[in-house]
Structure 1
């Protein structure tokens, strides 16, 4: 019985009982004392039923409205899922596909209805399937969004490089219930990256080379980014006390420029004989290929800057010096029989400024490291790091 029929019958019952009660009350030959007590209770109960039916009807209307709102929202989010610009999949924790949007079906070259129920692993080359199985096991035990780079194969199609972003959905008890996947074809991007590596020489093509001798200050133009063809450039600023602070080193194939910093005082000094080429910002804005070439190099400078910041954040001077020497080993180190030789000579003042301490302190600490045999110097006063980790 649906709720509408229930309400109608309860109203009919109530009306009949009301008529019967009224009739029995006005008949002169029936004494009110003769009305059965059960009849009165039945009549009162019918009133309660009628009120309950009316309340149930109101609640039912509210439920219908709520259901309609939820259905509208569900349809809205379903359309967002379906027509999203990226390929989306929902799988269970074993990787069985439960839902797929239009772009996922297009990317894998399979109709949506045939994707559902298929294992995700079916689209992975045999030699990479174990790797994906291991990742699925780890995903169920982690709350982190994970990025996977893997090859996929279209149905009856070619292999392609894919970037997969995977997140775990959990129920209220914290148990993993499903995996949400975003699939992207990155084959073109990888080809572009390989092209970038091959075309690094394009930065030098038909551009005048600027040469600076060791110790020269390199003039900076805010409209230009400088690319280091050869040599090493010290990047520094000055604090309020007038002391120089080392904030970066631009080695060969790196870029620098005043447009890449917000510091009011930014100075570039050649630590060796240097060769540079200028690239105007307007060129970069107009050339996507040039932007792709330079972006990893700018990123490299940002990572190095972060490394210098981490060094400054160390509490003990010994730790700052240790991490600075590790960074210099990585940036300008070259392997020699005795260990790793820094290809450029750094003064104690340079090292002190990078470590946020005094030259006297650095001289004392370097002397101690020499006594311990951790560092030494060659005939040209270049520092050599021995078993320095």
Structure 2
């Protein structure tokens, strides 16, 4: 029974009884049995309706339980499928990936989320695949494409991609569903043409290890990392458990446990980085490798001394100004607006580098922006103006710890 219709019937019956009562001074003996009969009928109908609602509620609960079990079953099928499966948004950024896809790409599942899928496709195949995906596609068309896949820190793979493009109610592309099927019958060709080793560059054809932003880089004895691309933060822990930045390794700079005396030492990728790895035995056996790596150690020592000088400043304002100048020198990129820091730093990371609080850094950045000495671009990168960067702030704006 329709609940709303039934409620209206009850309301109508009650109004009728009330109207009868208002029009008479007393309820006659003839009216009482009729009123009781009507109320009894309404009571029975109400009980029937309640029974129907309870039955429908139980059916809904059973249906919901069945749907949840079905969703779980399909999720398990997706997660443990033998082929790699990836779901992306309309721009190609990964929203979900199963275990096989993570294994093929050699990246933990949680680090795949938000990354462009095309970054794992070999550069020579990337443009052709991108052009194909950007073309208007008929509804429910399946795209099959064979490419070289570039897993992180592993040999390239020849794979077949089966891509289904989903559309929204307006017919616009809303999502891409990608199946990655490894091609067992063929080996992946090299991603670049063979290059003869030159004396001036002994590292050009070495294997590069890739780490994504925020990942910790493993440090092992008797090995040295060298940054090929990106920025690595080197840090230790103070006695109070706070992180202390002891270095920023940019392109060409080496780092490793063999180059420090600190007991607690870790390396974190501040951006996506490409690294080269050397063992001490390799460096000893190859003068070309040694000539490439050893002079960079001097650059790291100079940077360490600069950081020590920064930490020696009593005022936070002075430490922060000198840190920005050091970052400008190490990772600055010239732009028409000024020198842009190539890495996006959070206020907390800058605070850790200056041994202060995030709130203090936020206030200092705001003051420098007001004075027009720095700017923040659309991607939250700091731009240092080319004019005299840091005039002295008024004494009331000096923060100390």
TM-score normalized by structure 2? 0.46
Pick the structure with more helix per residue. Answer: 1
The structure number with the bigger radius of gyration is 1
